[in-house]
């Protein structure tokens, strides 16, 4: 018998929890609820879930702190719910390890589609191991990526990336000089086929450049913006 997909829905508004629960259960997901950050963290650490839908503004411990604590021990997919759609809020959420951001008020159907996309991507990551002719290490001009341990080194220094930043970097590095549109990156890295905020891509690229640039501007500048199109990874002479 196939194991049920377990989702934790965290929001201090009962109306929103019930709405999300209804749509998730219609799609055969098993749902549990938490109404504040403390309860959410206790549940997430005690019994692993397949995905967490996490409100940003919670009483007591807010969603950012919950996400940060969960990321210390788990890479469970996390979708942040927030009433704020500004770039700084999204960047901070992604920096702490959120995989996606949904702004209130949201479409429950779109949220379900985003959940399915994240679950599919997470399953693919568990089943597929990226390889190349060099084995499990990608090494280009001062940048090294160990595909087994998911460690990224700039020179001899390890760079801490969120799971999605890591996926995006690997995707671009393994296809040097190929230009990808934001739509293509949403489809292939986020697994969004018919929806998705293209600013999500821009936010991740910005954070990725900042983190790499802290150790090497040369490595950071290998992620090139192709104006009017998208992004590519370019090894310059």
pLDDT of residue 215: 92
E strand or H helix at 90: helix 87-96
Among residues of the chain, what percentage have pLDDT more than 90? 37
Handedness of CA 222, 198, 117, 24 (dihedral sign): positive
CATH number of 70's domain: 3.40.50.2300
Specify the higher pLDDT residue, 149 or 67. 67
Split at pLDDT 50, 70, 90, the class of 120 is confident
Domain match, 115 and 59 both? yes
Average of pLDDT values for 196-204? 80
Q: Which structural domain range is residue 216 located in?
A: 137-233
pLDDT reading at 97 higher than 60:
yes
Domain boundary among 104, 125, 146: 125
pLDDT reading at 234 higher than 60:
yes
CATH number of 227's domain: 1.10.10.10
pLDDT of residue 102: 86
| Structural domain includes residue 131 | no
| Structural domain includes residue 130 | no
Q: Cα torsion for 142, 146, 147, 149, to the nearest 10°?
A: -150
Domain match, 66 and 101 both? yes
Domain match, 151 and 114 both? no
| Structural domain includes residue 216 | yes
pLDDT digits (tens, 9 = 90+) for 129-174: 344 444 477 888 889 988 877 889 998 899 988 888 898 999 999 8
The separation between CA 37 and the C-alpha centre of its own chain, rounded to angstroms, equals: 20
Q: Please state the domain count of the chain.
A: 2
DSSP state of 62: -
| Structural domain includes residue 132 | no
Split at pLDDT 50, 70, 90, the class of 13 is very high
Cα–Cα nearest to 95, from 73, 64, 66: 64
Split at pLDDT 50, 70, 90, the class of 125 is low
Domain match, 52 and 113 both? yes
Domain boundary among 93, 125, 157: 125
Average of pLDDT values for 117-124? 74
pLDDT of residue 88: 67
Average of pLDDT values for 7-25? 94
Q: How confident is the prediction for the chain on average, in pLDDT?
A: 84
Domain match, 60 and 151 both? no
């Amino acid at each position: 018998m196939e194991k049920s997909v377990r989702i934790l829905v965290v929001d201090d508004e009962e109306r929103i929890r019930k709405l999300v629960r209804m749509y998730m259960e219609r799609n055969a997901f098993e749902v549990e609820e938490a109404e504040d950050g403390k309860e959410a963290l206790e549940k997430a650490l005690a019994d692993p879930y397949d995905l967490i839908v996490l409100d940003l503004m919670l009483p007591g411990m807010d969603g950012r702190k919950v996400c940060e604590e969960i990321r210390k021990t788990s890479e469970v997919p996390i979708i942040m719910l927030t009433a704020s759609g500004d770039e700084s809020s999204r960047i901070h959420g992604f920096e702490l390890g959120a995989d996606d951001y949904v702004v209130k008020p949201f479409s429950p159907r779109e949220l379900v589609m985003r959940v399915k996309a994240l679950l599919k991507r997470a399953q693919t990551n568990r089943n597929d191991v990226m390889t190349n002719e060099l084995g499990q290490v990608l090494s280009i001009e001062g940048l090294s990526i160990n595909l087994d341990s998911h460690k990224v080194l700039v020179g001899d220094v390890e760079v801490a990336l969120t799971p999605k930043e890591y996926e995006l970097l690997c995707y671009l590095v393994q296809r040097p000089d190929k230009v990808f549109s934001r739509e293509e990156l949403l489809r292939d890295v986020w697994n969004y086929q018919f929806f998705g905020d293209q600013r999500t891509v821009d936010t991740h690229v910005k954070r990725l450049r900042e983190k790499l640039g802290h150790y090497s501007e040369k490595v950071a500048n290998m992620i090139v913006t192709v104006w009017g199109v998208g992004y590519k990874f370019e090894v310059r002479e």
